[in-house]
Structure 1
Amino acid sequence: MAESARAVIEDVTSAFTELPAVDSSSGVDGPIGWPGYDDARARAAERTGERESVVCGVGKVGGTEAVLIAFEFGFLGGSLGERTGARIEGAFTRARELGVPVVSLIATGGSRMQEGMRALTQLQRIARQAASARAAGLPQIAVLCDPTTGGGWATLGGGADVTLALRGAQVGFAGSRVRPPGDPVAYTAEGQLAAGQLDALVEPADLRIRLERWLALLTNPAPGEPPPPAALGTAELPDTGWAAVRRARAAERPRAESYLDIYFEWREELSGDRCGGVDAGVRCGFGHRDGVSIAYAAQCGTPTRPAGFRTAARLVRLADRLGIPVLTLVDTPGAANDAAAERAGAGPAIAELFGAVAAARVPVTTLVIGEGGSGGALAFAAPGRTWVTPDAYFSVTSPEAAASILKRPDEDVPAVANQLRLRPQDLVDLGIARGIVTPAR
């Protein structure tokens, strides 16, 4: 059984003030007169010391004030009823009044059978409150405890900006008593992470520090346009286009991980597109730099898959809503173009990222650190705010593909690379890049 609501709250906060309870009655044995429901609630209250399945209040998590919604699984399986919905609504209302984030610590079996459809419609009530918080620019973080199923997963859990889960937790829309036989891993936190539905697994002992870090990152945006990182490779510019391509493809050329490690003092990552996919070749998250937060979406040198574009778009939209500027790192030979990528929606996924960058109100800074292959690279780039390193190139397509399209022989590929004007200095001359960054002195 999940840890009690108050124990979890004590684990993650240094101070907590409970909100006044909203416990209006719905008549004898609840709204649909379920026989024995009042007695069941009374026994649950005696067993747990709580009057409902959630405890809500305002607490301090590290240096950040937040509203916490903690589920008490011992109270009728942490199920959602009318009074649960009223308490959660009150918590979101208080968060909007204070202008603070919402942290949901979830352990629930779903909607409460003894209240019928009146219980199920609480999901609409909760969704409305979460939407109001998003419109107010308030971050929402969910922690999925064991178990998190049904409506709690499908509203507060799956709908949060950042979704963490305790390692080994049962997580799924279908609870253990109603799911069909099949793959049991699909209903675990580990399975949901692999399917792109969670951002990270957390050990219980690490939960407090991870929440502290996430809340600090999501509530402390950097002012203005992020500076591009300094180049980590050579300072010399390539003489020819083919030399630029070969240098960008060199195995020893610095990659995104090195740039992120040097640019940020520490960072936390988002994972997955929330559509069933994860692209290990795209890193997205928020980093701490000089006391403030900058979001990032970085290609890692592989063909970018649809899940990578959708994850990056998710990152850009979230950062924009929270007023956090974005750094993107371009490094890909191009978008993945195999049959699986087409079936997964490569075109719409690329369009989604183009749209997110175009619509962003926060500044987006781009640094091309390696290969800039066609539209799969351009989707990550900010118009007017793109910089390039000396060991990078940007091209309408690869020299090999251009030669093939133009029906030229393979031996013409180097000449085609030169004709494409893809060198860093060419990109500046063409107005594609604002400038060439050099290594720090």
Structure 2
Amino acid sequence: MAERLTAREAIGALTADFTESAAPAGDTAGDGPLGWAGYADSRARATARTGEQESVVHGTATVGGHPCVLISFEFGFLGGSLGQRTGDRLEAAYEEAITRRLPLVSLIATGGSRMQEGMIALTQLHRVARASARLRAAGPAQLAVLRDPTTGGGWATLGAGADVILALPGAQVGFAGSRVRPADADPAAYGAEGQLAAGSVDAIVPPGELPATVGRWLGLLAHHDAPPAPAPVPDALGATDLPRTGWDAVLRARAADRPRAGAYLDAYFGLRLPLSGDRCGGTDPGLLCGFGLREGRPVAYVAQCGTATRPAGYRTAARVIRLADRLGIPVLTLVDTPGAANDAEAERSGAGAAIADAFASIAAARVPVTTLVIGEGGSGGALALAAPDRTHVTPDSYFSVIAPELAAAILKRDPDRVRATAGQLRLRPQDLVDLGVARSVAGAPGRRAGAAEGG
């Protein structure tokens, strides 16, 4: 179990620069909207115990040199539950973020809605969701830090609805709190680590690393109004000479010692922070996503790692591209896949819809998307993450309507015709430039026409 700090201890552990905002005016007298006997006394005891008038504290802060609006939950005040006055404060915090055009950081520790206010408490989730949507439309990012516990409506609005979700190790995280979940439920599913594995959390961050991590994220996710310049094309890290035949291009792209996405990202970025998961229960270890700094400038990245991309990967990619588009940050995609995963589980997980969503995210992006094909460009599974007007290729890559072996099978050709089929597909880097599919061959010492295709 993660250490339980008070609201102000959590703020103090994150930043020394916090200015509390005035609480909205509201009637806190009596036993609440339901006339729940003893509710006023419970609130009074909670105030005496914690020194707080409600379950959240909010104000402005600076973390890592970056200003933000900060919300912190006080779990000691009726379990950090959400009531009407809590909703007032949360709505005020979102409004302050909208007015000041600042990102919002939420330090969450809540057991959910407040029983003593019944449906009035539950409807505060509508208020929070509406305020969150307004802030999202205005542009600034929302970042959540999941403390212990983060359950119920607080998880399903401020937490799971944030753009970047960080969690403390061992924190209890789940829609169902410990008192209402099935008795035989797997406890791992309700923890931060389980939510990370299920694609609902971006990273587990130890408490000592939280200030630096949040500060870096705030720097990367700053909202930009001016249209950004495209992300620079990465330098090619492998071969610089062009392949002679189509089959040569295929063999190069499939070579085990060819530079992969991790090497390209390390060479390209001075700092990068990962995002993980599709928020639908899945992750794809063969896809790297996140934001990084390229010569001091933020760039979002989506990078295939040479494996068949799974539906969760496409959904994660679409999430990152849409966030970058909202924030005015250019996108870099690195294409390297034999194709989309085509096993039965991928189909059951919505492969078609996920690929369509990736296509749509790039098609709708107002920010420039730059693509470098660094290995295999296999069919629609690769094209879904490629920019239609800003794609470049490396000398050790190919891009094809489908792998030559499968093309030969579809055309009912003998296996010994695979190499010739690769040539007919015109999939070499220089062919792709000639066809207008790619703008350039990155790292090549000039355009050189390949030898005639054949073997």
TM-score grouping bracket, smaller chain normalisation: over 0.9
| Deviation at residue 26 of structure 1 after TM alignment | 5.5
Q: 1:115 to 1:220 in 2, by over 3 A?
A: closer
Q: Which of these residues, 38, 46, 50, is aligned with residue 48 of structure 2? A: 46
Residue correspondence of structure 1 range 111-126 to structure 2 within 5 A: 111-126=113-128
Contact 2:141 2:223 in 1 (8 A): no
| Deviation at residue 220 of structure 1 after TM alignment | 6.3
Aligned residues: 440
Contact 2:223 2:328 in 1 (8 A): no
| Residues 216-236 of structure 1 deviation map (CA, whole Å, 9 limit, x = unaligned) | 000166931111100000100
Q: Which of these residues, 165, 187, 193, is aligned with residue 184 of structure 1? A: 187
Q: Which of these residues, 309, 317, 328, is aligned with residue 314 of structure 2? A: 309
Match of 1:110 in 2: 112
The CA distance in 2 between the partners of 1:261 and 1:220, in whole Å, is 25
| Residues 102-150 of structure 1 deviation map (CA, whole Å, 9 limit, x = unaligned) | 0000000000000110000000000000000000001000000000000
**Identical residues among aligned pairs (%):** 67
Residue correspondence of structure 1 range 133-212 to structure 2 within 5 A: 133-180=135-182, 181-212=184-215
The letter of the residue matching 1:258 is A
Contact 1:220 1:293 in 2 (8 A): no
Match of 2:100 in 1: 98
The CA distance in 2 between the partners of 1:53 and 1:374, in whole Å, is 52
Give the 3-state SS of the residue equivalent to 1:153 in structure 2: helix
| Residues 7-42 of structure 1 deviation map (CA, whole Å, 9 limit, x = unaligned) | 111111231110001251165201101110000000
The CA distance in 1 between the partners of 2:406 and 2:357, in whole Å, is 25
Q: Which of these residues, 356, 359, 366, is aligned with residue 354 of structure 1? A: 359
Do structure 1's residue 341 and structure 2's residue 341 form an aligned pair? no
Residue correspondence of structure 1 range 3-402 to structure 2 within 5 A: 3-25=5-27, 28-180=30-182, 181-219=184-222, 223-402=228-407
Q: Bigger CA drift: 10-19 or 76-85?
A: 10-19
Q: Which runs of 5+ in 1 are unaligned?
A: none
Give the 3-state SS of the residue equivalent to 2:290 in structure 1: strand
Contact 1:230 1:439 in 2 (8 A): no
| Residues 308-345 of structure 1 deviation map (CA, whole Å, 9 limit, x = unaligned) | 00000000001001111000000000000000000001
The letter of the residue matching 2:186 is D
| Deviation at residue 97 of structure 1 after TM alignment | 1.1
The letter of the residue matching 1:300 is C
| Deviation at residue 439 of structure 1 after TM alignment | 7.0
| Deviation at residue 254 of structure 1 after TM alignment | 0.2
The CA distance in 2 between the partners of 1:164 and 1:198, in whole Å, is 6
User: RMSD of aligned C-alpha atoms?
Assistant: 1.1
| Deviation at residue 62 of structure 1 after TM alignment | 1.0
Contact 2:54 2:77 in 1 (8 A): yes
TM-score w.r.t. length of structure 1: 0.98
| Residues 244-294 of structure 1 deviation map (CA, whole Å, 9 limit, x = unaligned) | 000000000000000000100011011000011000000100001111100
Contact 1:232 1:439 in 2 (8 A): no
The letter of the residue matching 2:290 is G
The letter of the residue matching 1:291 is G
Match of 1:426 in 2: 431
| Residues 33-80 of structure 1 deviation map (CA, whole Å, 9 limit, x = unaligned) | 111000000000010011100000000011110000100001000000
The CA distance in 2 between the partners of 1:306 and 1:70, in whole Å, is 35
The CA distance in 1 between the partners of 2:38 and 2:114, in whole Å, is 14
Q: Which runs of 5+ in 2 are unaligned?
A: 446-455
The CA distance in 2 between the partners of 1:123 and 1:44, in whole Å, is 22
- State the 4+ residue runs in structure 1 displaced beyond 4 angstroms: none
